Structures are given as C-alpha cells and as structure tokens.
Structure 1
C-alpha cells in the first residue's frame, strides 16, 4: 500500500491551522520509549520478538498536531530460524495528528519515516557469519495518550501500535509505550 502524502499533508495542515486560536505557544516535550517489536520475515513462518529502548523529542503547535523525532537501540537478541536477530538502532521523524476525546485522553495517528539497522548472525561449521540489514521506510500507526490537556506542562503516558518497516521480505511492527514530560 503506497501512502498518500498529499492527503496526509492536507489533513495535517487543517489540524494545525484550525487550532492556532486555541493554543498561542507550542508545547515541547521529551521522554522515554520502550517497544516490543515483532520481526516477521514474509518468506519464513513465525516471528522473533525484539525489544528496544529509546528517547523522543517533540513539539505540539496545537492540540491537534505534534511532530516528533525518535531514536533507540536494541536490548539483546533473539534466535529465529537458526540465526541470532538483533536491532542495533533506529531513528525516525513523525507527524502525529491528534484528536482530544476528553480532558485526560486523546487518540493520535502516526505517520513518518523510520531508519533501522538489524544484525543477523549465524554460526555454521565453526565459522560465524554476520549480515547487516538496513531499512528506510514509511511508518504508520495509531495510539492513545493520557494527559491533563487543561494543564500546561506535566507528564503524559502513551501506548501505540506502529508498523515501522514493511518491505517485501520483512515486516517490523511495534507495541510502544512512552512517558513524556511536557514543558
């Protein structure tokens, strides 16, 4: 499925400009992420569960839109189909159109780009072989955020599902939990 970039840009612009009267100054935030990733090669049955820890920085110019950058690193490796699979690192930039549902709850979409570096190691007949895979792909997902929207600053907690990488030979999906401080 090819993303419709003009439509995404138009929807984001509507959210951004429609909310300029409700919030005079943008809110900045920073936080920590933990992600449970599902590494799913399309040519082999099964998947490997990987874990990452990361940081994010964001700006929220209105209650309806945020922009965020994220970076993280893998935590350990998993054996899959006789090979050790490990996420070395990832980083990305994302737009998050949001819809406040309640004083304490909002839903959001995630759309952006993720770069990831994956290491696949295998030992055959006493020799170690390592292959490095790099991927840059369009990422998309959805999440919920808990924060007191009537209070400036404060802490928020978010839970999201994101497809970070979708290539012809592998999909990498994540269940991501984050804690942010808004200032």
Structure 2
C-alpha cells in the first residue's frame, strides 16, 4: 500500500490550494492512506488534510501523530487534531518520534500518553494506536516492552537499513511475531 505523507505539504513552495489538490487527486487515484501529524507546520498539514477530505472521509484511512508524552497534553493535542482534520475520529493515532531513550518510560508512566490513547480508543476517537521512531531500533524495542497490545509501528525501512542500526533486523521480526502492523517510511532513504 502506498500512502501520502503530509510533512512536505507545509513547505513554503506548496500553496494551500496545491496541497488540497494533491491530496484530493491522490484519493481519486486510489491512494487512501493519509499520514499527517499534530506538529507538521504548526498544524497547517492537518488543516490542509481536513479541508481536502471533506466529502471523502469515508474513503480514507486517516492517521495523525501526537507529540506529547503525558496524558493531559496528549488528549489536548488529539482534540486539536480532530478539529483541524474536521472529523470525529482518526483511524490511527501514533506517538510521534520516539527517539529518546526515556520515551518508552514517559509514554507508559502513570499519567503518561498511553493513558490518553486508551481513553481516546474507548471513546471512539481513535481506532488504532501505535508509535513511530526514526533514530534507533533499541528505542522502538523499548516501546514494544511496554505491557500493551500495540496496533502499529512506523519506522525507516529502506535498502540502506541493514547497514546501520537496522530496524529491519532488530524490530521487524518482533512486529511480525506479534502481528503488529509495520508502516515503512523513508523507503528511498531520505527525510
């Protein structure tokens, strides 16, 4: 499956009209996995996706990501995301950029962001819950050590992966063993 990421849709060279047209064209051509985040362009990416999917929400799998590591801030960011996206739920909500050694501890701590995910899932505001990471496989393994049944993990998967800090070798087998969806990113090795 190919998805459309929203990080690049906030660059100065991309107008709002062009971004909306790109998203809508992608949907019309069958690219229905949409990936954005609370912090892309200070919310601009989510706003553009929200405008683009009006009348098309039932045709897309909508993912956004949260930056907060505590329950209160994560729930606040989710509400902001839902408002920007002009929807009552997202299909996949992920803890964004688990890049620090203590991210697993913060997410899983009492009052941590995982509690926000559980609350949101029970309320029907998210369907699936996962996490992302770009920096080191051992941090993602730390997320997998949390006593929780994750739905997804998004990580770099590309031809260069096996050469340095291999997510494919160190994380992917465990995802497969547990039946956790792997979302590959940076497939061409870029940012």
TM-score of Structure 1 vs Structure 2, range by shorter chain:
under 0.3
- Of Structure 1 and Structure 2, the greater helix share is in 2
Tell me which structure has the larger Cα radius of gyration.
1
- Of Structure 1 and Structure 2, the greater strand share is in 1
Q: TM-score, normalised by structure 2?
A: 0.25
